[in-house]
């Protein structure tokens, strides 16, 4: 059966793409953020996934405000990067796995999640940035991607409780996938940030710490707040934490926090990178 080996959780600020393109990883502004990926790189040397299942929000590339699925699952044979600029060169398509995607989709529908299935999906900065951060030297990806999209953009937003349940149902699907395969989970976005309106620039380190402290061993704690509570606590884009909550659910239990980095600010965002591992991971030698 397929096994979850770990989860990479990271912010997806587009300006990071510009910094990668310009080679600014050791620049004083960027270094504290990029250093958070050193333990992730070390771990990924020893842990090569066959599949990467990602939880992120689309920023207007696939879905716009006129048509906004609450939960969407990709079932494409390949995913093309079509980001909206900021300097990161467009990279090669990432291979998909229609078989694994449809297994996840069928399981989610059996579990009574009324999802949208997408036989085409473009990759925006919510995935391109985390992929480039995790595997900076790879020219093409040798794992297969299953992207899960969560609406964090257009109200009404799904509740944190529902996002966690979605992730747990994805975990059930992974566990029942009859393949000797290693699965890595991604959760992207956050932490606290608000890009527009009267509170533009708002961040909340106290709420971010609450999330980081509880997500590994007590993810249900994050469901005590409604989506609107989180918008208030974390900013109108801080609600991207829903992606992290779903991703944590998809890891199953128990998980171990292997590394954590929190740096404020990167652009307008309280940026964080966390690596969580499971009993199926290999430790770096
Ligand atoms: C920024 C953060 C985001 O999550 C995003 O999608 C776009 C911009 C920012 O802080 O600049
Ligand atoms: Fe975002």
> Which atom, in ligand 1's list, is nearest to the CA of 59?
6
Q: Does position 41 have pLDDT exceeding 90, yes or no?
A: yes
- The band of 285, judged by pLDDT with boundaries at 50, 70 and 90, is low
The domain total for the chain is 1
3-state secondary structure 39-106: HHHHHHHHCCCCEEEEEECCCCCCCECCECCCEEEECCCEEEECCCCCCCCCCCCEEECHHHHHHHHH
Asked if residue 197 belongs to a domain, the reply is yes
Question: Mean pLDDT across the stretch 125-146?
Answer: 94
The per-residue pLDDT of the chain, averaged, comes to 96
- The band of 92, judged by pLDDT with boundaries at 50, 70 and 90, is confident
pLDDT tens digits for range 70-83:
999 999 999 999 87
Instruction: Tell me which of 237, 241, 265, 272 to substitute to probe ligand 1's pocket, judged by most ligand atoms within 8 Å of the beta carbon.
Output: 237
Asked if residue 62 belongs to a domain, the reply is yes
Taking the chain, what is the end-to-end CA distance rounded to the nearest angstrom?
26
Q: Is the CB of 103 under 6 A from ligand 1?
A: no
Q: Is the CB of 239 under 6 A from ligand 1?
A: no
Q: CATH number of the domain that 123 lies in?
A: 3.40.830.10
Instruction: Tell me which of 10, 11, 14 to substitute to probe ligand 1's pocket, judged by most ligand atoms within 8 Å of the beta carbon.
Output: 14
- Could you give the residue numbers annotated as active site? 12, 59, 193, 240
Asked if residue 194 belongs to a domain, the reply is yes
Asked if residue 12 belongs to a domain, the reply is yes
Strand order in the sheet with 256-266: 116-118, 71-74, 144-150, 51-56, 182-188, 3-10, 269-277, 256-266
- The band of 85, judged by pLDDT with boundaries at 50, 70 and 90, is low
Instruction: Write out the residue range of the structural domain in which residue 68 sits.
Output: 3-277
**Per-residue pLDDT, 139:** 81
Dihedral angle at the C-alpha atoms of 215, 229, 264, 47, nearest 10 degrees?
A: 30
C-alpha 195 – ligand 2 centre gap (Å) = 9
Asked if residue 74 belongs to a domain, the reply is yes
More confident residue, 285 or 56: 56
Nearest CA to ligand 1 atom 5: 13
Asked if residue 284 belongs to a domain, the reply is no
Asked if residue 129 belongs to a domain, the reply is yes
Asked if residue 183 belongs to a domain, the reply is yes
């Amino acid at each position: 059966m397929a096994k979850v080996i770990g989860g990479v959780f990271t912010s997806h600020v587009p300006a990071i793409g510009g910094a990668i393109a310009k080679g600014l990883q050791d620049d004083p502004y960027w270094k504290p953020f990029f250093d958070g990926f050193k333990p992730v790189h070390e771990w990924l040397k020893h842990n090569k996934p066959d599949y990467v299942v990602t939880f992120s929000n689309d920023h207007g590339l696939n879905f716009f405000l006129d048509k906004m699925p609450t939960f969407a699952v990709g079932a494409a044979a390949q995913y093309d990067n079509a980001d909206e600029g900021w300097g990161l060169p467009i990279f090669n398509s990432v291979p998909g796995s229609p078989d694994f995607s449809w297994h996840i989709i069928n399981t989610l529908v059996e579990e009574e999640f009324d999802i949208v299935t997408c036989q085409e999906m473009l990759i925006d900065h919510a995935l391109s940035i985390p992929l480039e951060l995790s595997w900076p030297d790879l020219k093409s990806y040798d794992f297969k991607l299953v992207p899960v999209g969560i609406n964090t953009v257009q109200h009404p937003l799904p509740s944190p409780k529902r996002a966690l349940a979605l992730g747990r149902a994805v975990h059930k699907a992974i566990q029942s996938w009859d393949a000797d395969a290693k699965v890595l989970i991604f959760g992207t976005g956050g932490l606290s940030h608000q890009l527009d309106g009267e509170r533009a620039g708002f961040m909340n380190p106290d709420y971010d710490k609450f999330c980081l402290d509880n997500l590994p061993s007590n993810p249900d704690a994050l469901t005590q707040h409604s989506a609107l509570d989180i918008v208030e606590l974390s900013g109108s884009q801080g609600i991207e934490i829903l992606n992290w909550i779903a991703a944590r659910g998809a890891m199953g239990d128990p998980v171990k926090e292997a590394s954590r980095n929190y740096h404020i600010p990167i652009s307008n965002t309280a940026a964080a990178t966390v690596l969580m591992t499971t009993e199926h991971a290999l430790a770096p030698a």
